[in-house]
A and B are shown apart, each in its own frame.
Chain A
Amino acid sequence: MIALLLIGFGMVALIQIPGLVRKQWWRELSFFMVLWFMGLILSVMVSIGITLPPISSIINKSLTGILGL
């Protein structure tokens, strides 16, 4: 599973990075790398079974608690 993920993310990087380097769009490249890295880390976490916090459920519990619904 992790190998598949790495291949997928590698392909995304291969598609985007050469064009950005050629155009010397360094800001775009760094922004892309930040998002890409976040995606990679989170995907690996999900694939190895780490449960990420269910944000919508947390928002719901907080709001219903505050509003007394």
Chain B
Amino acid sequence: MALEKGRISNFQLSVLIIGFVFGSSVIISPGGKGAGHDAWIACAIGLMEGLLIAWIFTALTKQFKDKTIMEINSLVYGKILGKGISLLFIWYLFHLSALVLTNYTHFFKLQIYPATPNTVTLLLLILVCASTVGRGIEVLARLSIILVPIIILVVFSDTLLLIPHIDFNNLMPVLDVPSGKLLLASHGAASFPFAETVAFLMVLAFVDKPEKAPSAVFGGLLIVGFMLIMAVARNAAVLGPMAEITIYPTYLAAQVIDIGDILTRLQVLVAISLITMGFIKITVLLYGTVLGLAQVFNLHSYRPIILPVGILMVIFALTNVGNTQEMVDFAEQGYPFYAIPFQIGIPLITLVVAKLRKLPQTGGDQV
């Protein structure tokens, strides 16, 4: 019995990838820490690494059409080891989702609703995400078609309105940062957010034309990558050294916008971007987590477990870091290395083992 009957088009997949990558990076600059005013270069190199990782996981789904990573693992490693590796991947999706929720709640607590308890913000968000997951991947894809273009417009408008405040001297001298530091920042930018698209190993099986899915993934990544590079360069050019110090440079940059005392306080648009794009990212991750659990434990449907898993995500988001500084430390220092086994290790090893075992076989070994 198929757990997901919906199908999405390649265009919808591209838009979903754009929304997913925007996620929380719409407020936190990727590669922003460590590379200073060269953060945009770190972001560009990170995009290249992200594309390479996307090439690995799309090659895997190209080989095993209509199969999620859970089914692929069972085929490649056998039932027991395959399920073990699948559970590790599910843990990553769950943890990443909780991290995005943590970003979300800390941003709202610090900038928008300081008096509102974190639990309220998180519960409201997760209920909307759970409701969307319950309606399947098609509904999320259609939603993203409406939401993502609005946010693209917001990012471009913010950049246009900030042109009077841009000082290109803030980006000079170019490539001033030591190469080791730059590469570390680039890997940071790759692991968050570009390579996180590895979560789409749970979605690519439901694309209506799987042979064209890799180009849809690359297209989405290139578009969102270009926009993030632009946003990172803009933030550095507007804020100068402050761009590296502040946690939310895009939000701070938007506060600078003041067109004739009429167009001011446009930072609320950045908050709206986080609400909508964060919603897309968390929904994709929640979907991947519950679908993965349902496939690993042979359930008839993933729908009964959406709410309990969502609640566990909220609890984890509330407790997984002690404070905002610990969240930033994890994102900058530990996460780029912690994510390697999930973003590169599992897809690459699975691809190599599948090639060595000449899988999938056309005979009776197919599931």
Interface of A with B (CB < 8 Å)?
Answer: 12, 15-16, 19-20, 23, 25, 27-29, 31-32, 35-36, 38-39, 42-43, 46, 51-57, 59-64, 67, 69
Minimal beta-carbon separation of B298 from chain A (angstroms): 7
Q: How far is the CA of A20 from the CA of B305 in the complex (A)?
A: 11
| Contact with A59, one of B102, B304, B318, B330 (Cβ below 8 angstroms) | B330
- Per-position binary interface string of chain B over residues 293-325, scored 1 when its CB falls under 8 Å from any chain A CB and 0 otherwise: 100011111001101110110011011111000
Q: Kindly list 12 other residue pairs between chains A and B, CB separation below 8 angstroms, not including A55-B95, A69-B334.
A: A16-B307, A28-B299, A28-B305, A32-B308, A35-B312, A39-B311, A43-B315, A46-B315, A46-B318, A52-B319, A55-B319, A55-B320
Q: A27-B297, A28-B299 are in contact. Are A38 and B320 (CB under 8 A)?
A: no
> Which residues of B are found within 8 Å of A38, using beta-carbon distances?
308, 312
B320 A35 Cβ-Cβ under 8 A: no
- B contact face: mostly helix, strand, loop, or mixed: helix
> Which residues of A are found within 8 Å of B321, using beta-carbon distances?
54, 56-57
Q: How far is the CA of A50 from the CA of B298 in the complex (A)?
A: 35
> Which residues of B are found within 8 Å of A27, using beta-carbon distances?
297-300
Q: A27-B298, A52-B319, A55-B320 are in contact. Are A64 and B312 (CB under 8 A)?
A: no
B326 A54 Cβ-Cβ under 8 A: yes
Closest to B312 in A: A39
> Which residues of B are found within 8 Å of A52, using beta-carbon distances?
315, 319
Minimal beta-carbon separation of B279 from chain A (angstroms): 21
> Which residues of A are found within 8 Å of B297, using beta-carbon distances?
27, 31
A20 B304 Cβ-Cβ under 8 A: yes
B320 A36 Cβ-Cβ under 8 A: no
B322 A57 Cβ-Cβ under 8 A: yes
Minimal beta-carbon separation of B306 from chain A (angstroms): 9
Closest to A20 in B: B304
Closest to A67 in B: B337
Q: How far is the CA of A38 from the CA of B189 in the complex (A)?
A: 34
Q: How far is the CA of A43 from the CA of B123 in the complex (A)?
A: 12
